[in-house]
Amino acid sequence: MPNRKDYTLEDKLKFTNTILKFYVDDSLVCNHLSNKLDWTSFESGFYSEEGLLLEKYAVDMKIEDIESQMGSFILNDNYNEFFPNYRLFEEDIESRSDSIFNLKNNLYYTTLPIFTDNGKFAFVGFSVISSLLSGYGEIIVFERKNNKWIEIERKQIWMH
């Protein structure tokens, strides 16, 4: 089983695309994907005591090893091959609500996965916002069993 350091950026992008295919009902080119893969909006839920995600699945992992995987990544045309069924959405922070409101389809946000040191567990942040500004955000935990990733827990962070 590969450990945390064995996963390349390409591996992480493929993992993220697999997650999107599984959780998004209609993956035709009509949904939008934020071009920013970022943990910022998921961090508080990831570290919260009520979720106990780290205590359950990564008890021996150092905070700096987790945070080193929480960086932000901007998808550009070079990486769009990993997400061919989505239109990349670049947010304008100043007019964020207006630009999202004008979308006719859902806007999905996700993160690159965080892998535990032993490579047995992975954490992914995932959220969706509709054009009516309703949606939800959650952290999904996966376990690697028999060379496959299986969802074992979902922790809702917000709902609107």
Question: How far is C-alpha 61 from the chain's CA centre?
Answer: 20
**Among residues 104, 148, 146, 155, which one has the least CA distance to residue 129?**
104
Residue 25 DSSP symbol? S
* Interior angle at CA 48, CA 115 and CA 10, nearest 5: 20
**Average of per-residue pLDDT values in the chain:** 83
pLDDT at 143: 96
pLDDT at 76: 85
**pLDDT tens profile 32-51:** 888 899 998 888 888 876 66
Pick 72 or 24 by higher pLDDT: 72
pLDDT at 95: 46
Whole-angstrom distance between the N-terminal and C-terminal Cα of the chain? Answer: 38
Round to whole Å and give the CA distance between 22 and 160: 22
**pLDDT tens profile 112-140:** 999 999 999 999 999 988 766 788 999 99
pLDDT higher than 50, residue 89: yes
pLDDT at 27: 52
Q: What is the pTM of this model?
A: 0.86
